[in-house]
Amino acid sequence: MKDSQGQILYVGKAKNLKNRVQSYFRNSNNHSPKIKKLVKHLRDFDYILTDTEFEAFMLECQLIKSIKPLYNRMMKSPQSFIYISISLTGKHRKIDIAYNPIEYDGKVYFGPYTSRSNVERALRGLKECFKLDCSNPNGTNSACLNYSLGSCLGRCLGGPAEQTYNDILDRFIGFLKGTDMSIFEDLNQMMLNASETFDFEAASAYRDHTQAVSSLLKKEKVIGFTEENHNIVAIERLTDSTIKLFLIKRTDILYSDNYAAAGNIEEKIKTDISAYFKKDEANAAGDISRHEIDAAHIIYRYLHSGICSYLIIPENWLDPENHSTLDLELKNLLNNPQHLQPPIYNE
Protein backbone atom coordinates (compact mmCIF):
# COMPACT_ATOMS: atom_id res chain seq x y z
CA MET A 1 0.00 0.00 0.00
CA LYS A 2 1.44 3.37 -1.07
CA ASP A 3 0.77 7.03 -0.48
CA SER A 4 0.57 9.77 -3.13
CA GLN A 5 4.38 10.06 -3.19
CA GLY A 6 4.84 6.34 -3.87
CA GLN A 7 6.14 5.69 -0.38
CA ILE A 8 5.27 2.21 0.88
CA LEU A 9 2.99 2.50 3.90
CA TYR A 10 2.11 -1.12 4.58
CA VAL A 11 2.88 -4.66 3.40
CA GLY A 12 0.43 -7.52 3.93
CA LYS A 13 -0.58 -10.88 2.46
CA ALA A 14 -3.98 -12.22 1.51
CA LYS A 15 -5.45 -15.44 0.13
CA ASN A 16 -8.25 -13.40 -1.41
CA LEU A 17 -6.84 -10.00 -2.35
CA LYS A 18 -10.18 -8.46 -3.27
CA ASN A 19 -11.76 -9.29 0.08
CA ARG A 20 -8.68 -8.16 2.00
CA VAL A 21 -8.52 -4.77 0.30
CA GLN A 22 -12.26 -4.19 0.60
CA SER A 23 -12.06 -4.88 4.33
CA TYR A 24 -10.13 -1.66 4.80
CA PHE A 25 -13.03 0.37 3.39
CA ARG A 26 -15.96 -1.49 4.93
CA ASN A 27 -17.25 -0.95 8.46
CA SER A 28 -14.78 1.87 8.95
CA ASN A 29 -16.39 2.78 12.29
CA ASN A 30 -14.98 -0.43 13.73
CA HIS A 31 -11.43 0.26 12.55
CA SER A 32 -8.65 1.26 14.89
CA PRO A 33 -7.25 4.80 14.62
CA LYS A 34 -4.14 3.38 12.93
CA ILE A 35 -6.19 1.67 10.21
CA LYS A 36 -8.25 4.82 9.65
CA LYS A 37 -5.08 6.87 9.28
CA LEU A 38 -3.62 4.31 6.87
CA VAL A 39 -6.73 4.38 4.65
CA LYS A 40 -6.72 8.19 4.66
CA HIS A 41 -3.21 8.27 3.16
CA LEU A 42 -3.66 5.28 0.82
CA ARG A 43 -3.45 6.10 -2.90
CA ASP A 44 -2.07 3.05 -4.72
CA PHE A 45 -1.32 -0.69 -4.49
CA ASP A 46 1.25 -3.09 -5.83
CA TYR A 47 0.77 -6.84 -5.60
CA ILE A 48 2.93 -9.92 -6.10
CA LEU A 49 1.42 -13.32 -6.84
CA THR A 50 2.94 -16.41 -5.22
CA ASP A 51 2.32 -20.10 -5.83
CA THR A 52 1.78 -20.96 -2.17
CA GLU A 53 0.66 -19.28 1.01
CA PHE A 54 4.00 -20.21 2.60
CA GLU A 55 5.83 -18.14 -0.04
CA ALA A 56 3.46 -15.23 0.62
CA PHE A 57 4.18 -15.35 4.35
CA MET A 58 7.94 -15.47 3.77
CA LEU A 59 7.81 -12.67 1.18
CA GLU A 60 5.74 -10.51 3.53
CA CYS A 61 8.29 -11.11 6.29
CA GLN A 62 11.21 -10.31 3.98
CA LEU A 63 9.65 -7.10 2.63
CA ILE A 64 8.70 -5.80 6.07
CA LYS A 65 12.23 -6.49 7.28
CA SER A 66 13.89 -4.73 4.32
CA ILE A 67 11.45 -1.84 3.74
CA LYS A 68 10.27 -1.24 7.33
CA PRO A 69 6.94 0.33 6.28
CA LEU A 70 5.55 2.86 8.74
CA TYR A 71 2.26 1.11 9.45
CA ASN A 72 3.78 -2.33 9.86
CA ARG A 73 5.98 -0.84 12.58
CA MET A 74 3.01 0.92 14.18
CA MET A 75 0.87 -2.21 14.24
CA LYS A 76 3.47 -4.53 15.73
CA SER A 77 4.55 -4.35 19.33
CA PRO A 78 8.26 -3.51 19.65
CA GLN A 79 8.26 -5.64 22.79
CA SER A 80 7.35 -8.93 21.11
CA PHE A 81 10.55 -10.65 22.22
CA ILE A 82 12.49 -10.12 25.43
CA TYR A 83 15.85 -11.04 26.92
CA ILE A 84 17.30 -11.51 30.37
CA SER A 85 20.23 -9.14 30.88
CA ILE A 86 22.80 -9.56 33.65
CA SER A 87 25.64 -7.08 34.17
CA LEU A 88 29.01 -8.77 34.35
CA THR A 89 31.04 -6.13 36.14
CA GLY A 90 30.64 -3.12 38.39
CA LYS A 91 30.01 -2.60 42.06
CA HIS A 92 26.23 -2.90 41.84
CA ARG A 93 25.39 -5.58 39.28
CA LYS A 94 21.82 -6.00 38.10
CA ILE A 95 19.58 -8.65 36.60
CA ASP A 96 16.86 -7.23 34.40
CA ILE A 97 14.64 -7.58 31.32
CA ALA A 98 15.74 -6.05 28.01
CA TYR A 99 14.19 -5.68 24.56
CA ASN A 100 17.21 -4.69 22.49
CA PRO A 101 20.50 -6.38 23.34
CA ILE A 102 23.48 -4.06 22.98
CA GLU A 103 26.88 -5.43 22.11
CA TYR A 104 29.86 -4.73 24.34
CA ASP A 105 27.82 -2.98 27.05
CA GLY A 106 29.21 -5.05 29.92
CA LYS A 107 26.15 -7.30 30.09
CA VAL A 108 25.35 -10.84 29.07
CA TYR A 109 21.99 -11.52 27.41
CA PHE A 110 19.88 -14.68 27.33
CA GLY A 111 16.94 -15.26 25.01
CA PRO A 112 15.01 -14.28 23.07
CA TYR A 113 11.91 -15.34 24.98
CA THR A 114 8.41 -14.74 23.64
CA SER A 115 6.55 -14.72 26.98
CA ARG A 116 7.32 -11.75 29.20
CA SER A 117 5.08 -13.16 31.94
CA ASN A 118 7.04 -16.45 32.08
CA VAL A 119 10.36 -14.63 32.33
CA GLU A 120 9.07 -12.24 34.98
CA ARG A 121 7.68 -15.16 36.99
CA ALA A 122 11.04 -16.94 36.85
CA LEU A 123 13.04 -13.87 37.87
CA ARG A 124 10.59 -13.10 40.66
CA GLY A 125 11.00 -16.66 41.95
CA LEU A 126 14.79 -16.42 41.79
CA LYS A 127 14.82 -13.13 43.68
CA GLU A 128 12.41 -14.36 46.35
CA CYS A 129 14.24 -17.63 46.97
CA PHE A 130 17.72 -16.11 47.12
CA LYS A 131 16.71 -12.76 48.66
CA LEU A 132 17.95 -10.69 45.74
CA ASP A 133 15.18 -8.10 45.86
CA CYS A 134 17.09 -5.11 47.21
CA SER A 135 15.14 -1.82 47.25
CA ASN A 136 18.35 0.19 47.60
CA PRO A 137 20.73 -1.53 45.17
CA ASN A 138 23.08 1.45 44.88
CA GLY A 139 24.66 0.53 48.17
CA THR A 140 24.58 3.48 50.57
CA ASN A 141 25.62 1.16 53.41
CA SER A 142 22.22 1.45 55.03
CA ALA A 143 19.62 -1.31 55.25
CA CYS A 144 16.79 -1.07 52.74
CA LEU A 145 13.13 -1.72 53.50
CA ASN A 146 13.24 -5.15 51.85
CA TYR A 147 16.13 -6.15 54.13
CA SER A 148 13.92 -5.53 57.16
CA LEU A 149 11.16 -7.56 55.46
CA GLY A 150 13.52 -10.48 54.86
CA SER A 151 13.55 -10.33 51.04
CA CYS A 152 17.02 -8.75 50.66
CA LEU A 153 20.16 -10.56 51.79
CA GLY A 154 21.82 -7.24 52.61
CA ARG A 155 23.69 -6.16 49.50
CA CYS A 156 22.61 -2.60 50.35
CA LEU A 157 24.93 -2.86 53.35
CA GLY A 158 27.90 -3.78 51.19
CA GLY A 159 30.55 -6.14 52.50
CA PRO A 160 30.15 -9.95 52.31
CA ALA A 161 26.48 -9.74 51.26
CA GLU A 162 27.45 -7.91 48.06
CA GLN A 163 29.87 -10.73 47.18
CA THR A 164 27.22 -13.33 47.97
CA TYR A 165 24.81 -11.51 45.65
CA ASN A 166 27.41 -11.48 42.85
CA ASP A 167 28.15 -15.16 43.36
CA ILE A 168 24.45 -15.97 42.97
CA LEU A 169 24.32 -13.95 39.73
CA ASP A 170 27.35 -15.85 38.42
CA ARG A 171 25.71 -19.16 39.28
CA PHE A 172 22.52 -18.04 37.55
CA ILE A 173 24.53 -17.16 34.43
CA GLY A 174 26.03 -20.64 34.57
CA PHE A 175 22.54 -22.10 34.91
CA LEU A 176 21.28 -20.24 31.84
CA LYS A 177 24.35 -21.39 29.92
CA GLY A 178 23.70 -24.95 31.04
CA THR A 179 27.07 -25.30 32.80
CA ASP A 180 26.09 -24.90 36.46
CA MET A 181 22.95 -26.50 37.91
CA SER A 182 23.61 -25.54 41.53
CA ILE A 183 20.89 -22.86 41.47
CA PHE A 184 18.34 -25.46 40.43
CA GLU A 185 19.63 -27.93 43.02
CA ASP A 186 19.33 -25.30 45.77
CA LEU A 187 15.74 -24.53 44.75
CA ASN A 188 14.85 -28.22 44.92
CA GLN A 189 16.49 -28.49 48.34
CA MET A 190 14.47 -25.51 49.62
CA MET A 191 11.30 -27.27 48.48
CA LEU A 192 12.32 -30.53 50.21
CA ASN A 193 13.25 -28.74 53.42
CA ALA A 194 9.86 -27.03 53.55
CA SER A 195 8.10 -30.36 52.96
CA GLU A 196 10.06 -32.08 55.72
CA THR A 197 8.98 -29.41 58.20
CA PHE A 198 5.36 -29.78 57.00
CA ASP A 199 5.34 -26.22 55.67
CA PHE A 200 3.37 -27.24 52.60
CA GLU A 201 2.45 -23.70 51.61
CA ALA A 202 6.14 -22.77 51.37
CA ALA A 203 6.92 -26.06 49.63
CA SER A 204 4.25 -25.31 47.03
CA ALA A 205 5.70 -21.83 46.47
CA TYR A 206 9.22 -23.26 46.08
CA ARG A 207 7.88 -25.84 43.62
CA ASP A 208 6.31 -23.08 41.51
CA HIS A 209 9.51 -21.02 41.62
CA THR A 210 11.59 -24.06 40.65
CA GLN A 211 9.36 -24.82 37.67
CA ALA A 212 9.42 -21.19 36.54
CA VAL A 213 13.21 -20.96 36.71
CA SER A 214 13.58 -24.34 35.02
CA SER A 215 11.37 -23.19 32.14
CA LEU A 216 14.06 -20.68 31.13
CA LEU A 217 16.18 -23.60 29.93
CA LYS A 218 13.43 -25.05 27.78
CA LYS A 219 13.73 -23.18 24.54
CA GLU A 220 10.66 -22.96 22.43
CA LYS A 221 10.53 -25.75 19.88
CA VAL A 222 10.68 -23.19 17.09
CA ILE A 223 13.89 -21.63 18.39
CA GLY A 224 15.59 -24.94 19.14
CA PHE A 225 14.66 -26.35 15.74
CA THR A 226 15.95 -23.26 13.92
CA GLU A 227 19.23 -23.11 15.84
CA GLU A 228 20.01 -26.66 14.72
CA ASN A 229 20.45 -25.19 11.23
CA HIS A 230 18.91 -28.07 9.30
CA ASN A 231 19.09 -28.64 5.56
CA ILE A 232 15.36 -28.96 4.79
CA VAL A 233 13.67 -30.20 1.62
CA ALA A 234 9.95 -29.36 1.57
CA ILE A 235 7.49 -30.35 -1.16
CA GLU A 236 3.95 -29.08 -1.67
CA ARG A 237 1.58 -30.15 -4.42
CA LEU A 238 0.19 -27.22 -6.40
CA THR A 239 -2.00 -29.12 -8.89
CA ASP A 240 -2.54 -32.72 -9.90
CA SER A 241 0.47 -32.44 -12.19
CA THR A 242 2.75 -29.93 -10.42
CA ILE A 243 4.69 -29.84 -7.17
CA LYS A 244 6.65 -27.03 -5.54
CA LEU A 245 10.10 -27.68 -4.11
CA PHE A 246 11.68 -25.56 -1.36
CA LEU A 247 15.26 -25.88 -0.13
CA ILE A 248 15.43 -24.21 3.27
CA LYS A 249 18.35 -23.45 5.57
CA ARG A 250 17.76 -21.91 8.98
CA THR A 251 15.39 -19.00 8.16
CA ASP A 252 16.16 -18.69 4.43
CA ILE A 253 14.63 -20.23 1.33
CA LEU A 254 17.79 -20.98 -0.65
CA TYR A 255 15.93 -22.21 -3.73
CA SER A 256 12.39 -22.92 -4.93
CA ASP A 257 11.00 -24.20 -8.21
CA ASN A 258 8.04 -25.97 -9.76
CA TYR A 259 8.35 -29.54 -11.04
CA ALA A 260 6.13 -31.75 -13.14
CA ALA A 261 4.91 -34.45 -10.77
CA ALA A 262 5.14 -37.19 -13.40
CA GLY A 263 8.33 -39.06 -14.22
CA ASN A 264 11.60 -39.52 -12.36
CA ILE A 265 12.47 -36.15 -10.80
CA GLU A 266 14.60 -37.41 -7.91
CA GLU A 267 17.85 -36.89 -9.84
CA LYS A 268 17.02 -33.26 -10.66
CA ILE A 269 16.05 -32.55 -7.05
CA LYS A 270 19.20 -34.27 -5.80
CA THR A 271 21.32 -32.06 -8.08
CA ASP A 272 19.62 -28.94 -6.70
CA ILE A 273 20.09 -30.15 -3.14
CA SER A 274 23.82 -30.72 -3.65
CA ALA A 275 24.27 -27.34 -5.36
CA TYR A 276 22.38 -25.13 -2.93
CA PHE A 277 23.13 -26.78 0.39
CA LYS A 278 26.83 -27.02 -0.47
CA LYS A 279 26.84 -23.29 -1.24
CA ASP A 280 25.58 -22.58 2.27
CA GLU A 281 28.19 -24.53 4.25
CA ALA A 282 29.47 -21.34 5.94
CA ASN A 283 26.12 -20.75 7.63
CA ALA A 284 26.89 -22.36 10.98
CA ALA A 285 24.45 -23.28 13.71
CA GLY A 286 24.10 -20.74 16.50
CA ASP A 287 21.78 -18.64 18.62
CA ILE A 288 18.76 -17.28 16.82
CA SER A 289 18.44 -13.51 16.67
CA ARG A 290 15.21 -11.58 17.26
CA HIS A 291 15.28 -10.60 13.57
CA GLU A 292 15.00 -14.27 12.58
CA ILE A 293 12.14 -15.25 14.86
CA ASP A 294 9.23 -14.28 12.59
CA ALA A 295 10.66 -16.25 9.66
CA ALA A 296 11.51 -19.16 11.98
CA HIS A 297 7.89 -19.34 13.16
CA ILE A 298 6.59 -19.25 9.56
CA ILE A 299 8.89 -22.08 8.47
CA TYR A 300 8.23 -24.22 11.55
CA ARG A 301 4.47 -23.76 11.26
CA TYR A 302 4.57 -24.63 7.55
CA LEU A 303 6.58 -27.81 8.08
CA HIS A 304 4.12 -29.01 10.73
CA SER A 305 0.93 -27.82 9.00
CA GLY A 306 0.22 -30.96 6.97
CA ILE A 307 0.24 -28.85 3.79
CA CYS A 308 3.71 -30.04 2.80
CA SER A 309 5.98 -33.00 3.36
CA TYR A 310 9.57 -32.37 4.35
CA LEU A 311 12.86 -34.13 4.80
CA ILE A 312 15.86 -33.09 6.90
CA ILE A 313 19.12 -33.79 5.04
CA PRO A 314 22.09 -34.60 7.32
CA GLU A 315 25.38 -33.18 6.07
CA ASN A 316 26.84 -36.64 5.45
CA TRP A 317 24.04 -37.47 2.97
CA LEU A 318 25.54 -34.82 0.69
CA ASP A 319 28.74 -36.85 0.35
CA PRO A 320 28.87 -38.84 -2.93
CA GLU A 321 29.25 -42.17 -1.11
CA ASN A 322 25.92 -41.59 0.64
CA HIS A 323 23.88 -40.52 -2.38
CA SER A 324 22.10 -43.89 -2.43
CA THR A 325 20.62 -43.02 0.98
CA LEU A 326 19.59 -39.61 -0.30
CA ASP A 327 18.00 -41.20 -3.38
CA LEU A 328 15.94 -43.58 -1.25
CA GLU A 329 14.75 -40.87 1.13
CA LEU A 330 13.78 -38.56 -1.74
CA LYS A 331 11.81 -41.35 -3.36
CA ASN A 332 9.97 -41.96 -0.10
CA LEU A 333 9.29 -38.23 0.24
CA LEU A 334 7.90 -37.93 -3.29
CA ASN A 335 5.74 -41.02 -2.85
CA ASN A 336 4.22 -39.70 0.37
CA PRO A 337 0.42 -40.16 0.13
CA GLN A 338 0.05 -36.62 1.41
CA HIS A 339 0.96 -35.41 -2.09
CA LEU A 340 -1.96 -37.16 -3.81
CA GLN A 341 -4.15 -34.07 -3.58
CA PRO A 342 -3.38 -30.36 -3.71
CA PRO A 343 -4.07 -28.55 -0.43
CA ILE A 344 -7.40 -26.80 0.01
CA TYR A 345 -7.09 -23.34 1.55
CA ASN A 346 -10.00 -21.66 3.26
CA GLU A 347 -10.71 -18.22 1.84
Same domain (yes/no): 87, 192: yes
Residue 11 lies in a domain: no
pLDDT score, position 221 = 79
Low-confidence ranges of the chain (pLDDT < 50): 337, 339-347
Determine what percent of the chain falls in helix, strand and coil, rounding each to the nearest 5: 50, 15, 35
Same domain (yes/no): 205, 229: no
Residue 241 lies in a domain: yes
pLDDT score, position 343 = 45
pLDDT score, position 79 = 56
Same domain (yes/no): 41, 123: no
Same domain (yes/no): 170, 132: yes
pLDDT score, position 252 = 93
Cβ neighbours of residue 134 under 8 Å, at least 6 residues apart? 144, 146, 147, 152, 153, 155, 156, 165
Same domain (yes/no): 91, 65: no
| DSSP at 257 | E
Task: Give the residue numbers spanning the domain of 36.
Answer: 17-75
Residue 12 lies in a domain: no
Same domain (yes/no): 235, 333: yes
- Looking at the structure of the chain, the number of domains it has is 3
Residue 298 lies in a domain: yes
pLDDT score, position 340 = 41
pLDDT score, position 174 = 93
Same domain (yes/no): 96, 190: yes
What is the DSSP annotation of 35-50? Answer: HHHHHHH--B------
> In DSSP terms, which residues pair with 239 in a beta bridge?
242
pLDDT score, position 335 = 81
pLDDT score, position 342 = 44
Same domain (yes/no): 171, 107: yes
Q: Amino acid identity, residue 90?
A: G
Contact (CB, 8 A) for 258 and 280: no
pLDDT score, position 344 = 45
Same domain (yes/no): 106, 190: yes
Same domain (yes/no): 273, 295: yes
Residue 1 lies in a domain: no
pLDDT score, position 77 = 57
Which of 75, 90, 109 marks a domain boundary?
75
Same domain (yes/no): 175, 92: yes
pLDDT score, position 11 = 95
Residue 347 lies in a domain: no
Alpha helix stretches (DSSP H) within 8-137: 17-23, 33-41, 53-67, 70-75, 116-130
